[in-house]
């Protein structure tokens, strides 16, 4: 009896130890999962860190297919490829320029906005690489002026200005749309309209709030990218 009793106790203790080890392992796994999720979330919430190790991603040339010119992905990690052809431009009344292929849809969108009582304008369209470089230099200088050291100033600037060679403005497929005169309320009326309707005209919000990990940029409610109506509708539907 004693033996079986002792055996039983030993067995219970073994089970107890196994359970304890098991619980500890589950606890460690849970902590690990939470840590991984936190890092992933932090990374996805903070595109600004994505080019710092350990989140660094190499920049490569964007894939370009002339038959799907409207779908080229150009961003912090995908530079405009050297074979990208010279953009044929259409000049708007205010002097801004866009890829001629997006002009008809853009015009239809502006007609619809005006019909809804808004007074929008394209405040930035096509930009040369030199202009993009100048914008970057100015932004870096602005942050340096606030006392940031060089590297930190560059990190901050790259939040708001695309690295030269990686801006959709350099291929004429992006437009910044604001209210003429840029009054805050009028601007936001324009941004709200765009958020709800631009996709119908083939334009998508490129840098949504919280989407910086995907685009590598800060929230820019005025920055729209042309992808064509079919793609825009599909992207809008999928959120
Ligand atoms: Zn823009």
Neighbours of 199 (CB within 10 A): 21
Ligand 1 mean position, distance from CA 223 (Å): 4
Q: Do 90 and 186 share a domain, yes or no? A: yes
Q: Do 23 and 86 share a domain, yes or no? A: no
In this prediction the ipTM stands at 0.99
Structural domain span for residue 129: 49-237
Q: Do 161 and 217 share a domain, yes or no? A: yes
Q: What is the pLDDT of residues 132-152, one digit of tens each?
A: 999 999 999 999 999 999 999
Q: Do 39 and 54 share a domain, yes or no? A: no
Q: Do 39 and 62 share a domain, yes or no? A: no
Q: Do 16 and 105 share a domain, yes or no? A: no
Distance CA 97, CA 123 (A): 10
Active site residue 170: no
Ligand 1 mean position, distance from CA 224 (Å): 7
- The radius of gyration of the chain's CA atoms, rounded to the nearest angstrom, is 26
Structure-token pair, residue 48: 């600004």
The residue behind tokens 């100015």 is 138
Q: Do 165 and 187 share a domain, yes or no? A: yes
What total of structural domains would you count in the chain?
A: 2
Q: How far is CA 64 from CA 84, 102, 120, in A?
A: 7, 17, 31
Q: What residues have their beta carbon closer than 5 A to ion ligand 1?
A: 176, 223
Ligand 1 mean position, distance from CA 165 (Å): 14
Q: Do 90 and 185 share a domain, yes or no? A: yes
Q: What is the pLDDT of residues 100-128, one digit of tens each?
A: 999 999 999 999 999 999 999 999 999 99
Distance CA 105, CA 86 (A): 21
């Amino acid at each position: 009896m004693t033996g079986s009793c002792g055996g039983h106790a030993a067995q219970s203790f073994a089970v107890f130890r196994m359970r304890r080890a098991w619980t500890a392992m589950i606890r460690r796994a849970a902590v690990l999962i939470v840590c991984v999720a936190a890092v992933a979330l932090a990374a996805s919430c903070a595109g600004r860190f994505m080019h710092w190790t350990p989140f660094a991603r190499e920049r490569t040339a964007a894939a370009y297919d002339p038959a799907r010119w409207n779908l080229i992905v150009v961003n912090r990690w995908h530079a405009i490829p050297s074979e990208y052809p010279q953009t044929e431009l259409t000049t708007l009344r205010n002097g801004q320029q866009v890829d001629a292929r997006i002009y008809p849809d853009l015009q239809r969108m502006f007609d619809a906005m005006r019909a809804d009582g808004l007074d929008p304008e394209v405040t930035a369209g096509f930009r040369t690489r030199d202009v993009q470089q100048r914008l970057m230099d100015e932004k870096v200088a602005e942050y340096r002026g606030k006392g940031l050291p060089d590297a930190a100033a560059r990190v901050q600037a790259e939040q708001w200005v695309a690295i030269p060679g990686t801006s959709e403005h350099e291929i004429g497929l992006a437009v910044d749309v604001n209210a003429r005169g840029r009054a805050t309320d009028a601007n936001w009326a324009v941004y709200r309209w765009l958020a709800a309707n631009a996709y119908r005209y083939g334009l998508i919000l490129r840098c949504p709030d919280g989407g910086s990990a995907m685009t590598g940029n800060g929230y820019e409610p005025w920055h729209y990218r042309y992808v064509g109506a079919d793609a825009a509708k599909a992207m809008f539907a999928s959120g």
